[in-house]
Amino acid sequence: MMHGFSEAQWMAYVDQELAQPDRARIEAHLKECPDCRRMCGELLTGHRLFSESALRLEEDLRVADEEVERVVALGMMRLNEAPLLNRIDQLLSALAPICGSAAAERSMKMAALEAANSSVHGLTESHWPDFVSHLSANVALLCGCAAGSLIARTGAQLAAGEVV
Amino acid sequence: MIYTRTALTAIWTAAGAAFCLGALRSLMILLSHASAAAAIREVLTPALLLAHIIATVLAIVVTLDLPRGSAMRRAWWLMSASGASACVRYIVEWIAEWSNWTAATEPLIGIRQIPGVVALILLVASLSLIWMSFARMGIGLSLRSRDLLAILAVVVLLPPIVLFRENLADAGSMYSAIRHMQFSQPFLLACSGALAIVLLHISEEVGDGQLSRSLKYLAWFLILRLVLMMCAIVPAIQQIVPLKVVRGGCNGAMPWLFTLAIAYRWKLVADARTALGQVWARPAQEVALPPPAFMRK
């Protein structure tokens, strides 16, 4: 208690949340009491500074949220791409001993171009069936239908998430 | 995969034995042991025929594995036909040997040139189609300066062969058609030699693998064949005695090099089939993908 007013009443006055009769009583007291006026001035300054800081912090946090969302989205995209790149690596390692590593890479580039009009790294999940189909056709032309079928079957199993 | 390895080991062994026998025969001729040389020849000729029979059968297996209507399949049909034609040539050689025919005593021996030239024409056509098939995938198009130099070296081998073509086995045949066929052989061999350089370049471009190994052996067979022809008819080279023995060995082993090239390509098919069998045998779920174009045909 300070000069007949509780701490909660002083805080409510500073926050402009105090009901009218109590508010009028405090204002009448402040006209007469210099100690309470000084204390109330300090409280109001502190309140203003706190409000401004809180606003700044809120804005900062809002930016951070956007950044977090962006990073999370990027991470999710990478997570989705990772199995596809892993599958491509597995197809490449199945193909290289048959056709040769350079021919395997070239066949993959051609298949990616035919299936998605992009590079191998630009492939998405939706391109996978066409990519495997074109790749197995290219491999069949170079190394025969057995090798082509091997790639088609391996591609289908990799799509099912099986480790080959 | 064990049976493919065993088959290849057997072919390598046969090639080694053929080299030794060929070299030994040349040595026997040099030492004037005509009967020993003749006995070795009786073994060598059927061995050469066997090499071509194996190559032809394996080439047919490879052909049947290639997609229908593709240039590569046509190329391998021609390769198989070339092998079959070479078989006919060695059958004629074998008959001539059993009948004791020589170019001087029996002009009919010259008919061996017909399957010989046909085999070469088919081989050149096959190699051209193989190159075309790789070129469609952008492989074998950018020849380096050293490849062009090697092709130039092949062309340089041609004038001495043409100059001394009278030394070829059937150059003195009473049939002009046979003589013309014999004279066309150096040119056909030069064409196949130039294509061999391209094949070597392709084998390097595709990277290490079974396909590359097969192309390398095929290329070395074609180059060796051209070099051996030059060594056989240019008198200055003919006189070098140690070279005669080596040449005899190479002559014996050369057809086996062709067989090895085809066998390595066949191994690729056999290994792919084995791997495919293992993949099919695995009880697994899979995503249904559209069948590739070569399966839809």
Q: Which of residues 275-294 of B touch A (CB under 8 A)?
A: 275-276, 279-280, 282, 284-294
Q: Distance between CA B283 and CA A127 in Å, rounded?
A: 26
* Ranges of residues in chain A whose predicted pLDDT is under 70: 1, 62-64, 74-82, 161-164
- pLDDT confidence of residue B293: 58
ipTM of the complex: 0.74
In tens digits, chain B (297 residues) has pLDDT values of 678 889 999 999 999 999 999 999 999 988 888 888 888 888 888 899 999 999 999 999 999 999 988 999 999 999 999 999 999 999 988 888 888 777 667 777 788 889 999 999 999 999 999 999 999 888 888 888 999 999 999 888 888 888 887 777 777 777 888 888 888 888 898 999 999 999 999 999 888 888 899 999 999 999 998 888 888 888 778 778 788 889 899 989 999 999 999 999 999 999 888 888 887 777 655 555 666 656 554
Dihedral in degrees, nearest 10, Cα atoms B126, B128, B134, B140: 140
Give the closest residue to A139 by CA, choosing from B140, B70, B142.
B70
Rg (CA), chain B: 21
Q: Which residues on B lie below 8 Å from A162 (Cβ)?
A: 284-286
B66 is written with which tokens? 């290639």
Distance from CA of A60 to the nearest CA of B (A): 47
Q: Choose the closest CB to A129 out of B137, B211, B289.
A: B289
Spatial contact of A151 and A136, defined as CB atoms under 8 Å apart: yes
A150/B275 CB distance under 8 A: yes
- pLDDT confidence of residue A164: 47
Q: Which residues on A lie below 8 Å from B289 (Cβ)?
A: 128-129, 132-133, 152, 155-156, 159
- pLDDT confidence of residue B103: 66
Give the closest residue to A135 by CA, choosing from A111, A113, A99.
A111
Find tokens 């189909």 and name the residue: A133
Phi and psi at residue A2, to the nearest 5°: -140, 115
A77, amino acid identity: M
Q: Choose the closest CB to A133 out of B65, B284, B289.
A: B289
Q: Distance between CA B132 and CA B78 in Å, rounded?
A: 14
Q: Distance between CA B21 and CA B24 in Å, rounded?
A: 5
How many CA within 13 A on the CB side of residue B8? 20
Q: Which residues on B lie below 8 Å from A103 (Cβ)?
A: 137, 139, 205-207, 209, 211
Contacts of A63 (CB under 8 A, 6+ apart): none
Find tokens 């950044």 and name the residue: A67
Give the closest residue to A138 by CA, choosing from A109, A101, A117, A159.
A109
Distance from CA of B183 to the nearest CA of A (A): 35
- pLDDT confidence of residue B149: 93
Spatial contact of A136 and A155, defined as CB atoms under 8 Å apart: yes
Q: Which of residues 171-230 of B touch A (CB under 8 A)?
A: 205-212
A127 is written with which tokens? 């391109």
* H or E element in which residue B142 lies: none
Q: Which residues on B lie below 8 Å from A153 (Cβ)?
A: 276, 279-280, 286
A143/B205 CB distance under 8 A: no
- pLDDT confidence of residue A10: 84
Contacts of B199 (CB under 8 A, 6+ apart): B127, B130, B131, B215, B216, B218, B219, B222
Alpha helices in chain B (DSSP H): 2-30, 34-65, 71-98, 113-136, 145-163, 176-206, 210-233, 235-238, 241-281, 293-296
Q: How far is CA B235 from CA B115, B161, B249, in A?
A: 27, 10, 19
